[in-house]
Structure 1
Amino acid sequence: MPRVITLGEIMLRLAPQGYNRFVQATSLEATYGGAEANVAVSLANYGIASSFITKLPKHQIGDAALNELRRYGVDVQHIVRGGDRLGIYYLEKGASQRPSLVIYDRAGSSMQKAEVEDFDWAQIFQDADWFHFTGISPALGDNVAAICMEACREAKKRGITVSCDLNYRKKLWTKEKAARVMGELAQYVDICIANEEDANDIFGISSEHSDVVGGQLNYKAYQKVAAQLSEQCGFKKVAITLRSSISASDNKWAALLYTGQQSYFSKEYKIHIVDRVGGGDSFSAGLIFGELMDYAPQQTIEFAVAASCLKHSIEGDLNHVSADEVRKLMDGDGSGRVSR
């Protein structure tokens, strides 16, 4: 069985019930999530051996986050314990023309204050086939960027495939710093994953005749974006999700996979959103799964997009679907009819 390692921060998510605004809330629902943890859970659901690497405080809230991973079969044996707090993010889900809102409270978290010496990558990477991280982790601080660099170097030394979701977050760092740090990490990355804005925000590579805010994307132009990313950074493959936002409640969802020789576009889904947080992470997990299963490029991108399409129908960060359910949607059964 292939083994995948993901590195990042799992956080406590606090959100009003339903589509209430913060000002309306008399209680907040507590769940857990974080980009790389979300990927690890999805892969575990698909039957892949996945290990999540992070640093958690050694108290009951840290235990709760650890147990959340355990319940889905994610390997947690290499998680480091220490520090004082678990990062928190507050989510107000948008609806119709009102966008979602995320407020971070993660400064001083155990992972944000982690050091290179906390992690023994030679031991962590034993028998590993794949390493995945996102641009969120190095954005937490120079120390976490150094941890990512150490992990990438060790993975590359061992011949492990490295994937990275660029995942630019303007609330965590500037475009200038993101370009410098991610440019250094990119030399170790085999497969780059991005959304319709990441390449422009980090590397200044934009799609012609696209209006992301207005929900108008020139799909064909993103082939050039993928090719430029590949040429500039040396990526073997580039995957780009293509979200056309009609409103906070309704989107069109597709993606492309660029292999250096050819671009493969998925079918486009019209989705009515229950919860979009984790949508990109479910795409990353689907893409990794397809690659590990030696799917053909078209089948890989179709699986990744179908997996992410289903995630938009599920509350919380995590994608609670099986590989069979994803394949069923891939095969055209998207009616939503009751299964009896």
Structure 2
Amino acid sequence: MSRIICFGEIMLRLSPPGYLRFVQANSFDATYGGGEANVSISLANYGMDAAFVTKIPDNSIGQAAINSLRQYGVNTDFIVKGGSRLGIYFLEKGASQRPSKVIYDRSNSSIATAGEGDFDWDFIFEGAKWFHFTGITPALSENVRKITEKACIKAKEKGLTVSCDLNYRKNLWSTEKAGKVMGQLMEYVDLCIANEEDAEKVFGIKAENTDVTGGQLDTEGYKEVAKKLKEKFNFDKVAITLRESFSASHNNWSAMLYAEDGFYFSKKYFINIVDRVGGGDSFGGGLIYALINQYDLQEAIEFAVAASCLKHSVEGDFNHVTVDEVKTLIKGDGSGRVQR
């Protein structure tokens, strides 16, 4: 089985219990998560050989983060230890018309202060088939931008398929800086994954007749977005998740995949959200799994969307669902009836 390499930051997630607000909380639930780590968990759950690459502090908190990956079967052999701290993010879960809120405490984390010499990409990519990163990772620091670029160059030299989720984060960098850096990295990317806002924020490519905050998406507009992205960067495939947000608790969820032979749209799911953090990552993990296993493109986008639909029902960043559970939903059984 060929290995999938995911590179990025894993963080400690601290959340008030249930739907309490920060100002109400007397305790916080502690879990771990982060874009590429979430993808590696999904892939490992599906039985794939997934490895996560990062740098963490050489202390008990860093080890706890490693343990959170290992317990679900992720290969942690390439994780480097060093630096001073693990990044933290605080999550206040929204409900109804009150949005979720995230506060980051990740400055000078171990991965953000990593150096190019920390990672031997020739060794890491030996026997690998796929490399995945997100737009969050090169935004962490100039050092990590250089490391990400070096990884992409080496991945292409070794014939790996490279995927990237644009994942724009306004608190990490400006749209101008994101566009410049990500534009350079897209040279190495085969599969580009974006949501309803990323293409506009990073590359200024906007879908017409769409109001994200009003829950109105126009599929024809996103066809044009995908076409422009593919033409600009010569991607093999472009995937765009389509979230219609009616409230923090209720969304419509679907996606589109664009390849040389045309557009593929998934079924649309109406979801009652338990935890939406990691929803996009679970989509990416599902899509990578389906494409590596040579699903046809319609099957691939259906698998990815169903997997991420189920993730919205799972607490925490990680998507704890199986291939069989995803396939059951695809076949139309979304009743939620007790399985005995």
Asked if these proteins are the same fold (TM beyond 0.5), I'd say yes
Who is 2:271 aligned against?
271
Cross-structure match for 2:251 = 251
Q: Distance in 1 between matches of 2:157 and 2:138?
A: 20
For residues 181 and 71 of structure 2, the distance between their equivalents in structure 1, rounded to whole angstroms, comes to 34
How far apart in 1 are the matches of 2:313 and 2:31?
17
Corresponding position of 1:281: 281
Q: CA deviation at 1:234?
A: 1.3
Q: CA RMSD in A?
A: 0.5
Question: Post-superposition shift, 1:221?
Answer: 1.6
1:39-90 Cα distance to aligned partner (Å, 9 max, x none): 0010000000000000010000001001111101100111000011000000
2:328 pairs with 1:328: yes
Q: d(CA) in 2 for partners of 1:163 and 1:47?
A: 19
- What amino acid does structure 1 have at the position aligned with 2:304? A
Alignment of 1:290 with 2:290, yes or no, is yes
Q: Please give the secondary structure, in 2, of the residue aligned with 1:109.
A: coil
Paired residue for 2:93?
93
| 1:36 Cα offset (Å) | 0.2
User: Could you list the per-position Cα deviations for residues 14-41 of structure 1 after superposition, in whole angstroms to 9, with x for gaps in the alignment?
Assistant: 0000000000000000000000000001
In structure 2, the residue corresponding to 1:284 is in which secondary structure? helix
Structure 2 alignment gaps of length 5 or more: none
Number of aligned residues:
340
Aligned counterpart, 2:232? 232
Asked whether 1:66 is paired with 2:62, we answer: no
Shift in Å, 1:167: 0.2
Structure-1 residue corresponding to 2:2: 2
- Summarize the alignment of residues 60-209 of structure 1 with structure 2, pairs less than 5 Å apart: 60-209=60-209
Q: Secondary structure at the match of 1:36?
A: helix
Kindly provide the amino acid, as one letter, of the partner of residue 233 in structure 1.
F
Cα shift at 1:213: 1.1
Aligned mates of 1:223, 1:289 — CA distance in 2 = 24
Aligned partner of 1:206: which letter?
K
SS in 1 for 2:216: coil
Distance 1:229 1:187 in 2: 12
* 1:220 CA drift (Å): 2.2
Q: CA deviation at 1:10?
A: 0.2
- How many angstroms does 1:98 deviate by? 0.4
TM-score, length basis structure 1: 0.99
Per the alignment, in what secondary structure is the counterpart of residue 328 of structure 1? helix
In the TM superposition, what is the alpha-carbon distance from 1:289 to its structure 2 partner?
Answer: 0.4
Task: Give me the whole-angstrom Cα distance separating, in 1, the residues matched to 2:246 and 2:291.
Answer: 31
Q: 8 Å contact 1:230–1:260 — kept in the other structure?
A: no
Task: Give the aligned residue type for 1:276.
Answer: R
Q: CA deviation at 1:106?
A: 0.2
SS state at 1:220 partner? helix
Separation of aligned partners in 2, 1:142 and 1:222: 32
Could you tell me how far apart the structure 2 residues matched to 1:302 and 1:287 are? 9
Per-residue deviation, residues 258-297 of structure 1 (Å, max 9, x unmatched):
0022000000000000000000000000000010010000
Aligned residue type for 1:192: C
Asked if 1:34 corresponds to 2:34, the answer is: yes
| Structure 1 residue matching 2:188: 3-state secondary structure | coil
The amino acid that maps onto 1:217 is L
> In structure 2, what residue type is equivalent to 1:153?
I
- SS of 1:277's equivalent? coil
Q: Could you tell me whether the CA contact under 8 Å between 1:13 and 1:32 is conserved in 2? A: yes
Secondary structure in 2 matching 1:97: coil
Distance 1:298 1:86 in 2: 39
- Does the CA contact (< 8 Å) of 1:227 and 1:260 recur in 2? no
SS at match of 2:4: strand
Secondary structure of 1:139's counterpart equals coil
Q: Deviations over 1:199-218 (max 9, x none)?
A: 00000001110001111000
Map of 1:44 onto structure 2: 44
Percent sequence identity over aligned pairs? 63
Q: Which runs of 4+ in 1 moved over 3 A?
A: none
Q: CA shift at 1:144, angstroms?
A: 0.5
Distance 2:216 2:276 in 1: 19
Deviation at 1:3, TM superposition (A): 1.1
Unaligned 5+ runs, structure 1? none
- Displacement of 1:2 after TM fit? 2.6
Matched AA of 2:263: S
Give the counterpart letter for 1:169 in structure 2: R
Question: Are the equivalent residues in 2 in contact too, given 1:133–1:163 (CA < 8 A)?
Answer: yes
**Distance between the aligned counterparts of 2:65 and 2:169, measured in 1?**
23
TM-score, normalisation: structure 2: 0.99
Distance 2:67 2:209 in 1: 46
Distance between the aligned counterparts of 2:146 and 2:213, measured in 1? 34
